[in-house]
């Protein structure tokens, strides 16, 4: 089925709509002030990564084939870059306004970020003394001219740029000063003004004349470069090389990839901008002037100063004891009784970690197999695997070295695991292994017994307190056999073609999903109530979207809860009238994936690591697991219903792709707050 373009939105522009929803949280004066600062920081870091990865990828595509067109809106790479830059400029204006509003509110709590015009003569003199004593000896600089090559500017580092006029010459030069990275504290206290600060890069910029005494500075600005981070990890595959060493070498290349954005804190000489663009191979539309600091990492220091002001933060929430597992008792026997499920961050990750520790010391456990994608900096999961290996268990671990921006961490984890005696593998050529799968194999008097865990999120204790995720644990022998088959295939550098129970990309996920959507279409034709509910992070797969449109036209009612990118427009007459899309952006990052096909007794429930993206279904190893226990099915349906009824964090997608907040008609319903409160209530009653 080939659907016309009005049903679709470009992936990159849809992502910018998502980040706009994050920005809305920073703009919302109902949010606690320090949480608004968090959302503004998230907006900015999201945008940095988007520019580095997605815009960087578009630049690569443009160089390879400028006439190529993406498959939803038929836009060329250059058209996409232009549209992205235009939308990004508009969002930057709102970001700057949000920052100014936050700064104004901070004054009510005794915190001020000043410029030098707001500091008296004595204060400026004392800051100059500080600059000469502590900054000047550590600063270096570059003079750009015919005899000096243009320096390499590090990704996301801040530089002071000055237009220099020699007193004895007419020609101009450009001076570039690195602002120290982590050498200097970002917030510099202003003398005799408690709670008042200047940023260290602003201090350096102000006192540039001390660095360049032979020159008159006609204009100056802070600058920040964003570089392409879309490295080709497939090039690391070479049978003659150790894959881990090849990945390490490839990561060094990322630091030197081409520039994709230049940010400036002030207007400077137009000729200098042209010169910078020439050296950095940038166009004018890739230059952004910011009225706010180029990096918001100093927000965390301000928040630390305000920790005693509880009203400026969300009320504390702590993961609760699981309603489904009692970690005061052995975990493995509880899983053998019936399937269990944890719901992060409302419930604690402790039972899963306890399960690993029990398996490490249980005499009946023969082996533990696990896929690792992102880990905490001090990983208790790795500790459990190391303990198991040291206790003589066979421990097989697939460490995904291509997990973007976690490559270096995972390289180090793989070394530690190998040193402990674990067998470490790196996956399948050309594919990322994104599945969250753990298989414990036991040898008992009754025969082989499996304990299988399938999750929607990473084995990361830190993000389990921030991201909503699900962790299913089952003693089903059939599911255990499927999981064992997956690990055998991964060890052989292969993919599985078909499974009895688990759905496994890239060969056996998309087609089963299409078949189950077809089943709902047939249900409508038979006079039944066809229904789909899908909770995912992103929806970009055109084949699946075409099938959703076909289902909508057949009368299937479809609820989509899509946190981020959604390339499908809902509510278009005759096309997507039966599709309803919401996005929930709130205190926690919605990360769990749930698929529901049908209602009532017909309903089939799955949890998965896979979004409905082309890369997830066709270019990754992902796993979706059926939830068969009736109690757990009800829990999943309750999560879906609670989110669909949210009128606080939910935005409803309109036919033109815009999102609108719901206006509470009666009482406010915050799905994340409700699920947390239910976890607290269940914990206190012991249900």
Residue 43 and residue 119: Cα distance in Å, rounded?
31
Residue 44 and residue 42: Cα distance in Å, rounded?
5
Residue 506 and residue 433: Cα distance in Å, rounded?
10
For the question of residue 343 being annotated catalytic, the response is no
Residue 236 and residue 245: Cα distance in Å, rounded?
9
Count the Cβ atoms, other than its own, within 10 Å of residue 430: 10
> DSSP letter at 465?
G
Element (H, E) at 448: strand 447-455
CB–CB of 390/364 below 8 Å?
no
Q: Dihedrals φ, ψ of 37, to 5°? A: -60, -40
Q: What is the DSSP string of 55-81?
A: IHHHHHHHHH-TT---TTT---HHHHH
CA-to-CA separations, 676 to 455, 459, 571, 634, in angstroms, rounded: 20, 21, 32, 17
CA-to-CA separations, 341 to 91, 283, 322, 636, in angstroms, rounded: 40, 51, 9, 10
CB–CB of 244/401 below 8 Å?
yes
Residue 175's contacts (CB-CB under 8 Å, 6 or more residues apart) are: 141, 142, 143, 144, 161, 162, 164, 208, 211, 212, 215
Distinct helix (H) and strand (E) counts, the chain: 20, 28
Which residue bears the tokens 């100063």? Answer: 305
- For the chain, how big is the Rg over CA atoms in Å? 27
> DSSP letter at 214?
T
Q: Dihedrals φ, ψ of 274, to 5°? A: -60, -40
User: Considering 59, 206, 343, 434, which one is annotated as catalytic?
Assistant: 434
Which residue bears the tokens 């409905």? Answer: 612
- Strand ranges in 80-237 using DSSP code E only, listed in sequence order: 112-113, 142-144, 158-166, 172-178, 187-189, 196-199, 215-227
- Smallest CA-to-CA distance from 593 within 614, 607, 613, 612 is with 607
3-class SS shares of the chain: helix, strand, coil, % to 5: 40, 20, 35
The Cα angle at residue 88 between residues 82 and 90, in degrees rounded to 5: 110
Residue 483 and residue 451: Cα distance in Å, rounded?
10
Q: Is 196 helix (H, G, I), strand (E, B) or coil?
A: strand
Termini Cα distance of the chain:
48
Q: Enumerate the β-bridge partners of residue 341.
A: 472
Q: Enumerate the β-bridge partners of residue 394.
A: 367
Sign of CA dihedral 302, 36, 312, 343: negative
Q: What is the DSSP string of 216-232?
A: EEEEEEEEEEEE-----
Count the Cβ atoms, other than its own, within 10 Å of residue 684: 10
Q: What is the DSSP string of 269-293?
A: -HHHHHHHHHHHT--GGGEEE-SS-
Residue 530 and residue 64: Cα distance in Å, rounded?
44
Tokens, residue 685: 């009653």
Q: Is 540 helix (H, G, I), strand (E, B) or coil?
A: coil
| Residues forming the active site | 434
């Amino acid at each position: 089925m080939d659907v016309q373009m009005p049903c679709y939105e470009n992936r990159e522009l849809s992502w910018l709509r998502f980040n706009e929803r994050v920005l809305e949280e920073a703009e919302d004066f109902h949010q606690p002030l320090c949480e608004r600062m968090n959302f503004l920081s998230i907006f900015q870091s999201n945008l940095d990564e988007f520019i580095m990865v997605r815009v960087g990828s578009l630049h690569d595509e443009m160089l390879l084939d400028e006439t190529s067109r993406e498959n939803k809106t038929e836009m060329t790479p250059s058209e996409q870059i232009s549209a992205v830059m235009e939308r990004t400029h508009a969002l930057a204006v709102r970001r700057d306004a949000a920052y100014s509003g936050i700064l104004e509110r901070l004054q009510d709590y005794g915190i001020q970020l000043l410029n030098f015009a707001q500091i008296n003569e004595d204060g400026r003199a004392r800051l100059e003394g500080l600059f000469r004593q502590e900054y000047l000896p550590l600063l270096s600089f570059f003079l750009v001219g015919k005899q000096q090559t243009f320096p390499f500017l590090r990704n996301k580092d801040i530089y002071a740029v000055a237009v220099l006029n020699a007193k004895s010459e007419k020609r101009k030069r450009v001076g570039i000063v690195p602002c120290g990275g982590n050498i200097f504290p970002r917030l510099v206290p202003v003398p005799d003004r408690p709670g008042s600060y200047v940023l260290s890069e602003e201090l350096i910029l102000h006192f540039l004349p001390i660095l360049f005494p032979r020159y008159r500075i006609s204009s100056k600005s802070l600058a920040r470069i964003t570089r392409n981070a879309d490295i080709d990890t497939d090039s690391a595959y070479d049978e003659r090389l150790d894959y881990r060493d090849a990945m390490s070498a490839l990561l060094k290349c990322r630091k030197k990839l081409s520039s994709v954005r230049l940010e400036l804190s002030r207007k400077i000489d137009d000729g200098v901008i042209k010169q910078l663009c020439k050296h950095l191979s940038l166009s004018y539309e890739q230059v952004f002037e910011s009225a706010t600091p180029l990096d918001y990492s100093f927000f965390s220091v301000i928040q630390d100063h305000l920790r005693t002001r509880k009203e400026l933060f969300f009320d504390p929430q702590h993961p609760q004891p699981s309603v489904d597992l009692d970690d005061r008792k052995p975990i493995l026997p509880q899983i053998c009784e019936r399937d269990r499920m944890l719901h992060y961050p409302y419930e604690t990750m402790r039972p899963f970690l306890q399960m690993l520790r029990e398996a490490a010391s249980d005499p009946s456990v023969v082996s533990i197999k696990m896929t690792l994608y992102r880990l905490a900096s001090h990983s208790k999961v790795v500790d459990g695997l190391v303990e198991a290996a040291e206790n003589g268990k066979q421990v097989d671990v697939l460490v995904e070295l291509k997990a973007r921006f976690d490559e270096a961490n995972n390289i180090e984890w793989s070394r530690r695991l190998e040193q402990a005696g674990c067998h470490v593998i790196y996956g399948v050529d050309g594919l990322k292994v994104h599945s969250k799968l753990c298989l414990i194999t036991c040898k008992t008097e009754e025969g082989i017994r499996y304990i299988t865990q399938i999750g929607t999120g990473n084995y990361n204790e830190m993000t389990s307190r921030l991201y909503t995720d699900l962790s299913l644990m089952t003693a089903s022998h059939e599911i255990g056999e499927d999981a064992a088959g997956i690990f055998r295939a991964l060890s052989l550098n292969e993919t599985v073609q078909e499974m009895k129970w688990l759905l496994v990309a890239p060969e056996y996920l998309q087609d089963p999903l299409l078949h189950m959507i077809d089943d709902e279409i047939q249900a409508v034709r038979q006079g039944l109530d066809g229904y789909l509910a899908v909770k995912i992070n992103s929806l970009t797969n055109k084949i699946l979207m075409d099938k959703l449109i076909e289902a909508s036209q057949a009368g299937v009612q479809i609820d989509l809860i899509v946190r981020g990118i959604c390339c499908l427009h809902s509510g278009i007459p005759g096309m997507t009238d039966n599709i309803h899309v919401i996005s929930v952006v709130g205190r926690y990052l919605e990360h769990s994936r749930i698929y529901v096909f049908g209602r009532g007794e017909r309903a089939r429930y799955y949890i998965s690591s896979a979004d409905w993206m082309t890369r997830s279904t066709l270019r990754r190893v992902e796993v979706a697991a059926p939830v068969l226990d009736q109690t757990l099915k009800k829990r999943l349906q309750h999560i879906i219903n609670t989110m669909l009824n949210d009128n606080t964090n939910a935005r409803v997608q309109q036919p033109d792709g815009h999102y609108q907040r719901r206006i509470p008609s009666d009482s406010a319903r915050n799905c994340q707050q409700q699920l947390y409160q239910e976890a607290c209530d269940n914990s206190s009653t012991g249900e």
